[in-house]
Amino acid sequence: MQNTPPTLSVVVPCRNENDYIAACVCSILAQELPPGGFEVIIVDGMSDDGTRDILKRLVATEPRLRIVDNPRRITPCGMNAGIRAARGQYIAIMGALTLPIAPLGSEWFKRAAKIQGDFVEELGWPELVQAVGEIRDSLPVRDRARLAVLAGNYGEAGAINLYGTRYGLPQAISGVNSFWQRGYGDPPPETLIVLGISREFLERKFSSCMVAGHTPNPFNIENEETSDHPDIYVCRGLRESWPEFWKDFRYYG
């Protein structure tokens, strides 16, 4: 705890926010200090999902951060408890889902990403889909008529489906989870842009596969796509029938 009362107290009531609380707290702490500084008071409604453990780890390294209990587990009660505990001349109340943005690559972003590893996996999807669109545009016109985008995981497939319309891309096909049930299209594809699948697998299954591009990394952030799936392929000539291939292509993750 700071010895000198700060100018500002930021009060954040929360309960069971383990997916977001680290990013929220670290983002607040990353903001520009007002004259006299500020403190952050997290009023926890007796969380039982791991939120409290995350907060304790943050408190251990950050003297501006405090935890106050809210045994009644009601947000207005949490606000009042935080206000009573505040030492600042001014008080700001924030929700646990109000996320000032810690700059990418900043120390606070790294700390939040270390606690919640999924944050880095949220980056780069629009850029990846744009790269797939550029690969499609580079193909001969005859290859685009029966084209599919084959995605190895649900993140890639979801990104293609979410952002791909702006580039005129077809909906992704994939063997993962419920995507498998949607099939491979009719008529079956002849040319595939493939992401998230190993070269070894593709060379066993297709007569022709070539690296056509790479997963963009504009933020210089290492995640699953940039480190594990850096290459994007164009493949042709499935070595077996599509029904046979699809039958064994189902998997979960």
Q: Phi and psi at residue 21, in whole multiples of 5°?
A: -65, -35
**Residue-wise pLDDT tens for the chain (253 aa)?**
557 889 999 999 999 998 889 888 888 888 877 888 999 999 999 999 999 999 999 999 899 999 999 999 999 999 999 999 999 999 999 887 645 567 888 887 888 888 888 889 989 999 999 999 999 999 999 999 999 999 999 999 999 999 999 999 999 999 999 999 999 999 999 999 999 999 999 999 999 999 999 999 998 989 999 999 999 999 999 999 999 999 999 999 8
What are the boundaries of each domain within the chain?
8-120, 123-247
The confidence score (pLDDT) of residue 47 equals 95
pTM beyond cutoff 0.85: no
Cα–Cα distance, 28 to 10 (Å, whole number): 9
The confidence score (pLDDT) of residue 15 equals 94
Dihedral angle computed from the Cα positions of residues 158, 159, 162 and 164, in that order, rounded to the nearest 10 degrees: -120
The confidence score (pLDDT) of residue 11 equals 96
Find the angle CA(111)-CA(221)-CA(24) to the nearest 5 degrees. 35
Cα–Cα distance, 13 to 124 (Å, whole number): 31
| Alpha helix ranges (H) inside 38-124 | 51-59, 75-85, 107-115
The confidence score (pLDDT) of residue 148 equals 98
Where does residue 77 fall: left (phi above 0), alpha (psi -120 to 50 degrees), or beta otherwise? alpha
The confidence score (pLDDT) of residue 81 equals 96
Cα–Cα distance, 29 to 10 (Å, whole number): 10
Cβ contact 88:38 at 8 Å: yes
Long-range contacts of range 99-104, CB-CB < 8 Å, 24 or more positions apart? 99/20, 99/23, 99/24, 99/27, 100/27, 100/28, 100/30, 100/31, 101/27, 102/23, 102/26, 102/27, 102/30, 103/30, 104/219, 104/221
The confidence score (pLDDT) of residue 97 equals 62
Cα–Cα distance, 107 to 95 (Å, whole number): 23
Q: Phi and psi at residue 99, in whole multiples of 5°?
A: -115, 90
- Options 3.90.550.10, 3.20.10.10, 3.30.460.10, 3.30.1360.30; CATH for 8-120 is 3.90.550.10
Find the angle CA(69)-CA(73)-CA(75) to the nearest 5 degrees. 95
